[in-house]
Amino acid sequence: MSGTDAPATPATPAAGNGRLFTGVVWAVLVLVLWLWGRDAPGALSGSSAPTTGDIAAVGRPPGVPMPPPHQPIDAAQPRRVAVPALDIDAPVVARGLDAQGAVDPPPFETPHAVGWYGDGTRPGEPGAALLVGHVDTETKPAVFYGLSAARPGGKIEVTRADGSVAEFTVDDVRVFGRDRFDPDKVYGPHHEGRAELRLITCGGTFDRDKGTYTANVVVSAYLTGVTAP
């Protein structure tokens, strides 16, 4: 997964980065359009079509006990994110918008870093904080390679700039194909007033003709605990 599927030319395979840019790129471009659309007069919300068939991943299976949400906490920037069950432990870097108006992904040279949309929600405060990461490079897995193996009830830990650790519990795992990508479900909060988190990477298959992945993996979680500094 990578940052902005604007109509830009993917990096050449010779540079070893051909796969790196193309998947998340499109998803975060949709984010920019969604943010703009929410503020536009008479704007319509995103499609609410259900995700079914090969578009559905784990979702939220019945019978999985979920802890109560923790009240939102004071804002602080994220510094690291860890998903213990998936052996993910990575630095988080704030990213803004690039010249095309899409969220700038982590640099080529740091495929094991996670990008946080710095103009959006901070993990722990009300709303959905967005973390994006590459799934692979031309030659090896990247930070979110195993993200699709996340399961409801799993834990995500975000270390913040104030020294606190915000603990989130996964409550939904989905794969959104391009034809069914729903920005409201991906970027919007699932419950108003709750502190939520999204981890996003590429999914589906890599279409070499188009130079992009066919889907995005989206792991949704909500705040369930806080460790003080």
- HEC profile of the chain: CCCCCCCCCCCCHHHCCCCCCHHHHHHHHHHHHHHHHHHCCCCCCCCCCCCCHHHCCCECCCCCCCCCCCCCCCCCCEEEEEEHHHCEEEEEEEECECCCCCECCCCCCCCCCEEEECCCCCECECEEEEEECCCECCCCECCCCCHHHCCCCCEEEEEECCCCEEEEEEEEEEEEEHHHCCHHHHHCCCCCCCEEEEEEEEEEEEECCCCEEEEEEEEEEEEEEEECC
What range defines the domain where residue 74 resides? 13-41+61-227
Please check whether residue 52 lies inside any domain of the structure: no
Please check whether residue 53 lies inside any domain of the structure: no
Reported as a single tens digit per residue, the pLDDT across 74-129 is 999 999 999 999 999 999 999 876 665 555 668 778 889 999 989 899 999 999 99
Please check whether residue 216 lies inside any domain of the structure: yes
Least confident of 4-18, 154-168, 178-192: 4-18
Please check whether residue 203 lies inside any domain of the structure: yes
Number of folded domains that form the chain: 1
pTM (predicted TM-score):
0.76
Please check whether residue 205 lies inside any domain of the structure: yes
What's 181's domain CATH number?
2.40.260.10
